[in-house]
A and B are shown apart, each in its own frame.
Chain A
Amino acid sequence: MRPSKSRSRFLALCIAPAAILYFLFMILPTFNVFRMSLFERGAYSPKETFVGMANFQALLKDTKFITSMQNTILLIVVVTIVTFFFAIVFAAILTRENIRGQNFFRIVFYIPNILSVVVIAGIFSAIYKPENGMLNSILSLLSGRTVMVLWKDQPMVIVSVIIAMVWQAIGYYMVMYMASMAAVPVTLYESAGLDGAGRLTQFFQLTLPLIWTNIRTTLTFFIISTINMAFLFVKAMVAKGMADVGLSFMYAQKDAGLYGYSMAAGVVIFLFSFLLSALVNWVTRREVLEM
């Protein structure tokens, strides 16, 4: 097809605003991050000195950076697995089984997602309070003696962050999977039932393969957002230095007056999330099933 001149002009005009905004506010700053990672300068100082790859060399030797990246990876792996497991299971139960108050559960699960991280941090501060906090009180009631788990102290602090992050993320992904599960024709389940497939077999042979494309997309999406969410949760919930993640390291360096160094950390985290998404995309590649 050969589009006419006026048509191309029209198309270009339509795309231009978005393209320009994207270029100005995404591409340019990203390149700027790469450029600044090669310099050393303060955040508020106009003076900058070119240091080449020195920032990256220092990063590799910085134990704090390595620990924070380890924490990031731990959070990504555990939070992703737990969230996806529960989101898919709950979605399957809510769509396939007849449960009273389905809509009620759907809303209850979804609510954490619309709360701001600061509110969530406030809620979990009440839950994790060492003395007569909700969690410790329940545990004391069940065990019959006074339980004093210091949730926001070592070594439980990372578990506390994981619980809060899973709690926040489940609802959103559950609703997404419910939508795609609802698109699977009921007739397929009926015929599978006639062939003698039980509920579990139906889930693994029908539901999972048919919503696989959806899972794949959300997985990439989730991993990237977890890098950011981990920072927000850690920043709002726990003391500095207790469970630092990659982005909190980046911020701390900026506050310490090492803008270039923090940009170098930003570059590493950028490349890391990019490669991780590519990897996940590649690993989860399957033949797409048609309904």
Chain B
Amino acid sequence: MKKFISLLLALTLVLSMAACGGNSGGSSTPAPAGSGTPDTPAPPPAEDVTITVAALASGYEEAYPGMWKEVCDAFTAETGIKVNLICDKNLEDVIGPSMQGGDFPDVIHLATGREKGLTEQFIKDRNIAEITDVLSMTIPGESVKVSDKIVGGFTDTSVTNPYGDGKTYLAPMFYSPCGLFYNAGLFEEKGWTVPATWDEMWELADKAKAEDPNMYLFTYPTTGYFDAFLYALMYSVGGADFFNKATTYSEGIWDTPEAKQCFDIIAKLASYTNPVTPAQANDQDFTQNQQLVLDNKALFMPNGTWIVGEMKDAPRADGFKWGMTALPAAKSGGSGASYCWLEQAWIPAEAPNLDAAKQFVAFLYSDKACAVFAKGGAVQPVPGLTDNLEGDNKLFYAIYDNGADAAMGNFAAYEAVAGLGTVREVFLDPVNGLVNGTLTEDQWISDVKAASDQMRANLMG
């Protein structure tokens, strides 16, 4: 009996402590949140608001360290709203856990199309605050409206209006043209012209092969880089109409001759790809694939303007010079296309300071902010910004002036369904299989069709 009582006592002791522990566990959820955002008082007086801004430290921040801090400081100076900045290369890992605990930053600058797909998850969960009204707000410290500062067309695509209902949820921030990068020095030396059609592309491949058996036509860093490639390809083959139908998974779209041409070009390109590519198409080794272009072992690769900075310390062939071209035209006389890669800034639906957050987003388009971002080489869709570019960047951003069509927009958001892969898994990752021969073109097409049917059935909006 005595033993029983002592056991009981011990048990109550443990339980009561567990209960205390449980309580402290409960209150500890906001605690780490508090450490992330030092002061977010519940109903603050207007001038005493502190917003939390989470921004991805990408190549631009690397090129001009302190870029985001400077913009935040300028915002505080203008409005009196304090900013707590979180700027990290692995932003998802830094803000992810506290967001799962219910603590959201006020503004997040993080694009779609990243491997962790955090922004996509927020879109799928309808967890983003609508910012259509920000477009008609006056920019803090200036007398113009936000919409007057954004180049037309940039707030009309699925990149900023994911549900296709004319409402804007994501603010268009930095854009950069994507295309095929090559060694312009080599082309000058050999007297080659950059192919204007895919037929010329295949001819060039044979010419290069005859010159040096180790010189292949194509490589790619990872399959993820095919997103911009595929968008531009669809646009150049079928124009805006086909592009819009394909990105909304229209019924029968993959049976059209345009779609067949896209699949054929990628499959043929796979056969012209340097065979070592898939073995290095992972996060650990992708720079070695980029190195293939620097070493003249592959002529073209799909990439973005950041490649110049990313590979600036890498060894290269004599006379190497970066060149960038749009995707060749589908038929002779047609025009090439280049995908416009657009990063977004957005406000989580559960941001604690919605109004201040909207002011911050508006401020991102002020002359002051644009000037700071430009120092890092980041270009916003604001008129006149590309005029001040220098060096390689001037060349790259001129791609649309040289006759290439700009493709903008991305695959429409669909409700997540168990067993249905992401856009990357369905459309892009199989390219590795095409190159190494574990997947046939027909198999790929039928996989795309099956997945596309499911995506259409679960379209959002």
Q: How many Å from the CB of A269 to the closest CB on chain B?
A: 16
Known contacts A5-B6, A8-B10; can you find 12 more A-B pairs with CB under 8 A?
A3-B3, A12-B11, A15-B14, A24-B25, A40-B418, A42-B124, A44-B125, A150-B436, A154-B278, A237-B282, A252-B422, A257-B416
Contacting pair A256 B18 (CB below 8 A): no
How many residues of B are counted as interface, with CB atoms below 8 angstroms from the partner's CB atoms? 55
| Min C-beta distance of A27 to chain B, whole Å | 10
Contact of A153 among B223, B278, B283, B425 (CB under 8 A): B278
Residue from B11, B122, B429 within 8 A of A240 (CB atoms) = B429
Complex Cα–Cα for A121 and B418 (A): 31
Task: Report the Cα distance A21→B116, complex, angstroms.
Answer: 31
Complex-state Cα separation, A194 to B198, whole angstroms: 82
Interface residues of B (CB under 8 A from A): 2-3, 5-7, 9-11, 13-14, 17-18, 21-22, 25, 96, 99-100, 102, 115-118, 120-122, 124-125, 127, 222-223, 275-276, 278-285, 288, 350, 416-419, 421-422, 425, 429, 432-433, 436, 438
Q: A77 in the interface, Cβ–Cβ < 8 Å?
A: no
Query: How many angstroms from the CA of A152 to the CA of B280 in the assembled complex?
Result: 7
Known: A8-B7, A257-B117. A152 touches B279 (CB 8 A): yes
Which of B13, B21, B120, B222 is A257 in contact with, Cβ under 8 Å? B120
Are B121 and A24 in contact, CB atoms less than 8 angstroms apart? no
* Residue interface bits A133-173, CB-to-B below 8 A is 1, else 0: 00000000000000010111111000000000000000000
Could you say which of B18, B96, B127 contacts A20, with CB atoms under 8 Å apart? B18
Tell me which residues across on chain B come within 8 A of A153, comparing CB atoms.
Answer: 278-279, 432, 436
State the Cβ distance, B208 to closest chain A Cβ, in Å. Answer: 18
Assess whether B421 is in contact with A256, with CB atoms less than 8 Å apart: yes
Task: Count residues of A near B (Cβ-Cβ below 8 Å).
Answer: 57
The answer to the question of A46 belonging to the interface, with a C-beta cut-off of 8 Å to chain B, is yes
Say yes or no: A152 contacts B282, CB within 8 Å: yes
A11 within 8 A of B: yes
Interface residue? A184 (CB, 8 A): no
User: In chain A, what residue has the closest Cβ to B13?
Assistant: A12
* Contact across chains for A58 and B432 when beta carbons are under 8 A apart: no
**Residues of the B chain whose Cβ atoms lie less than 8 Å from the Cβ of A3:** 3, 6
Q: Can you list 23 A-B contacts (CB < 8 A)? A: A5-B5, A8-B7, A12-B10, A16-B14, A20-B14, A23-B21, A42-B124, A42-B125, A44-B99, A47-B125, A64-B421, A150-B276, A150-B278, A153-B432, A154-B433, A239-B222, A241-B429, A241-B432, A242-B432, A253-B418, A255-B422, A256-B422, A261-B418
Contacts of B276 in A (CB 8 A): 130-131, 148, 150
**Shortest 4 CB-CB contacts between residues of A and residues of B:** A12-B10, A45-B125, A58-B418, A8-B6
Q: Is the CB of B284 within 8 A of A44?
A: no
The reply to whether A43 and B6 contact each other, CB–CB distance below 8 Å, is no
- A286 at interface (Cβ–Cβ under 8 A)? no
Across the interface, do B17 and A237 meet the contact criterion of CB distance under 8 Å?
A: no
Given contacts A239-B432, A258-B418, contact A20 B17 (CB under 8 A): yes
The distance in angstroms between the C-alpha atoms of A244 and B127, with both chains bound, is 30
Whole-angstrom distance from the CB of B108 to the nearest CB of chain A? 11
Per-residue interface assignment for chain A, residues 190 to 217, with 1 indicating a CB less than 8 Å from any chain B CB and 0 otherwise: 0000000000000000000000000000
B2 near A5 (CB under 8 angstroms)?
yes
B421 touches A150 (CB 8 A): no
